[in-house]
Amino acid sequence: MKESLVISQHFSLDSSIIDEDTTVIIGFSGYGSVGRLVANHLAEAFRVTSIGYWGPVSWFHNDRLEAPITVFKLDIKSNDPQEKFVLVTSRLNVPVVGIRALPDVFWKLLSQEILSWKAKRYIAIGGLREEIRNSSNDSWVALIPTTKYSEQFGVKRTFKDHLSIKGPIHYLLMESSAYSLATLVVLSYCNTFEADNEAALIALKELEKLFDLDLKSDKLNTFDSSFVEPDEMIFWEAEDDFEDFADEDDFDSFDEEYDEEYDEGEPLDFSSKKDDVISFDVYKEFHKKGDKLDKYK
C-alpha cells in the first residue's frame, strides 16, 4: 500500500551537471506569476537544453522534451568565463497559492532537492502584492539576499521588515539561510492573482543589473501552453484513483509511517540523492478543506 500512496518530489535529473561554477535561476508560479513569466522568457529568448523534469505529463517544444517543471541549461555568458547558468521553471501554472495549490510539504522537499545541487548561487524570482507597496517608495523591486549571498556578492536587503513570505520562495530562503547557501530572492510588486507581464519585465531588468547581461528585456517572450491539458486538472486527476481503493484508515496508517521515516527535524543530507516522497494524505486534506485565500492577504 505504501508504494501506491506516494508521489516523488525528486527531479529526473543528473545533478552532476550542476557544480560550484553554476548559477541556478528559479521561477515558479505565485503572485502575478512573475517567477514563471521571467523564467519562461529566458527559456524562449535564449538557447536552452532540457536536462531535468518533474510532473505527470510531458511534451516536445522546439525539438526538446519538457514537463510542467523543467530544468534547462541556459546558453548565456557572464563576465566570469567559468560561470554556467541553469534554469528551473514552471512551464505550466503549477499552483502555488489558492485552493488548488500543491501542499507546503511538496515545496519544501522540492526546495531541498534544488539546494542539494551545491551550485555557486541561487536566484529565485517572485512577486509581491502591489497593495502592500508604500506609494512613497519609488522602488518596484525588493531584494532578499541570504547572509552568505551578501558576503560573496555585496547585495543588501531592500525587502521591508514585517512582510510575510509564502510558498517555494519561503522554503528556498529558509533552507538557504539555515545551511549558509548563497541565495538571492528578487521580488517585484504585481497584481496578486493575475499574470502581470509588466511586473515580470521589471524583475527581468533587475536580473540584467545583477548579472551585467543583456537578457532581451525590450519585450517579454511568453510560452503558450494551451496545447497541454488544463493546468489544474493534470495535477489533481490522480486523486480520484486513490478514492477507489484507499479509505481514511489507509491514509492515516501511511501518514504515521511517513512521519516516522521522514522526520522534518532532520537536517538536509547534501551527500545523498535519494528519492524523498510525500503522502497523498496531504493532497487529500488540502483538496477536501481547501486553502483559504484570506491567509495570503
* pLDDT 10s digits, 27-66: 999 888 999 999 999 999 999 999 999 988 999 999 999 9
Give yes or no for a contact between 115 and 14, defined as CB atoms under 8 angstroms apart: no
| Gap between the Cα atoms of 105 and 168, Å rounded | 10
Residue that is written with C-alpha cell 563576465 in the block: 79
- Looking at residue 125, its pLDDT comes to 98
The yes-or-no verdict on residue 267 having pLDDT over 80 is no
CATH of the domain at 219: 3.40.50.10900
Residue 253 has pLDDT above 70, yes or no: no
In this structure, is residue 206 part of a structural domain? yes
Q: Is residue 234 very low, low, confident or very high in pLDDT (cuts 50, 70, 90)?
A: low
Say if 130 falls within a structural domain: yes
pLDDT of residue 201: 96
Confidence of residue 193 (pLDDT cuts 50, 70, 90): confident
Quickly state the pLDDT bin for 232 (edges 50, 70, 90).
low
Residue 75 has pLDDT above 60, yes or no: yes
Q: Residue 263 pLDDT more than 90?
A: no
Q: Is the pLDDT of residue 93 over 70?
A: yes
Q: How far is CA 264 from CA 3, 114, 175, 192, 280, in A?
A: 20, 17, 12, 30, 17
Instruction: Give the global pTM.
Output: 0.77
The amino acid occupying position 233 is M
CA-based nearest residue to 73, from 16, 133, 7, 8: 16
Report which of residues 102 and 7 the model is more confident about: 102
74 strand-pairing partners: 48, 85
Q: Is residue 175 part of a domain?
A: yes
Handedness of CA 247, 245, 287, 185 (dihedral sign): positive
Specify the DSSP element, H or E, that contains 51. Answer: strand 48-54
Quick count: other Cβ atoms within 10 Å of Cβ 11? 21
> Does some domain include residue 176?
yes
49-53, 110-114, 210-214, 237-241: the lowest-pLDDT one? 237-241
* Dihedral sign of CA atoms 144, 35, 121, 216 in order: negative
| Contacts (Cβ under 8 Å, ≥6 apart) of 28 | 35, 36, 69, 89, 90, 94, 96, 126, 167, 168, 169
Q: Taking the alpha carbons of 211, 15, 72, 54 in that order, is the dihedral positive or negative?
A: negative
Q: How far is Cα 82 from Cα 237, in angstroms, rounded to an integer? A: 44
Predicted pLDDT of residue 49 = 97
pLDDT over 70 at 239, yes or no: no
In a domain, 282, yes or no: no
Amino acid at 26: I
Q: Does 106 fall in a domain?
A: yes
Is 133's pLDDT higher than 80?
no
How far apart are alpha carbons 57 and 69 in whole angstroms? 10
DSSP letter (8 states) at residue 83: -
Count of structural domains within the chain? 1
User: Is residue 253 situated within a structural domain?
Assistant: no
Region of poorest pLDDT, from 15-29, 96-110, 243-257: 243-257
The pLDDT value recorded for residue 9 is 57
Residue 296 — very low, low, confident or very high, per pLDDT cuts 50/70/90? Answer: very low
Range of the domain at 50: 2-231
User: Would you say residue 25 lies in a domain?
Assistant: yes
Mean pLDDT of the chain: 80
pLDDT at 141 over 80: yes
